[in-house]
Structure 1
Amino acid sequence: MKKMLMTAATALAALMAQAQEVDGKALFLKNCAACHQPTGKGIPGAFPALAGSKFVQGKGADVATVLLKGRGGMPDFSESLSDRDIATVLTFVRSNWGNKADGLSEADVGTLRTTLGVDPFGNSVMSNKH
């Protein structure tokens, strides 16, 4: 019985990881691919590549800060993506196209949001920013 429970738990964990991968890809395609391209290679001179990026593979908090506050020509997504969505899309980006970096959790993004003084998701007036 114990072995069967362990096997079921392992299978469930694998399914959850696969679902997060699909969710991350779907979020990326919906919110990021227009600029950074579905391949993560960006558009030279306009939108930076995420594939093979040292920045993307660097500190998770630095990458999440860009999504929460924007940078350069990139808008912030603090009002349009939840902490879970930001963690999910960043986990996808940091582990695809040759990138090999740890993912982020919803709690990581929530803590960073508080540290940066960014309003909690869903606490802002709706906008048409994106």
Structure 2
Amino acid sequence: TITISYDIIIDAGEHMEWVLSSDTGEEVVLEGTGEFTVPSAERFILNRKPVIPISFFLYQNFPNPFNPITTLRYDLPEQAFVTLTVFDMLGREITQLINTTQLPGFKLVQWDATDSMGRPVSAGVYLYQIQAGEFVQTRKMVLLK
């Protein structure tokens, strides 16, 4: 038998995990500190793999209120065509930040409080909406000047 000891430190927000794979196809996710024993001298490969979100989600922008830049974060559990659009409170489109197919993962984009022509928008409340496949979610944000 072989005993394998490990001490894994992953930076906060990294969204990666260490996976030890054997030549028989077994995988062990290594987290924190620990050890495990395997019955025979198998071959192993240690890989860093991205952690995939379990569900779609649109987070509250940060900072909020903001001036003039804010960050919008969202989770994609699967590949999807994504649009992320900013609207005014009357429902008029201000700008489209994302309009493309994206791979799964933890995503973020910044908005600099400009419209689709690059002109600064006025202070006020804005909506931002994500559409990814069948998933749709909308949130509010406040621009202060």
Normalised to the residue count of structure 1, the TM-score between the two structures is 0.25
Normalised to the residue count of structure 2, the TM-score between the two structures is 0.23
Where is the strand percentage greater, Structure 1 or Structure 2? Answer: 2
Where is the helix percentage greater, Structure 1 or Structure 2? Answer: 1
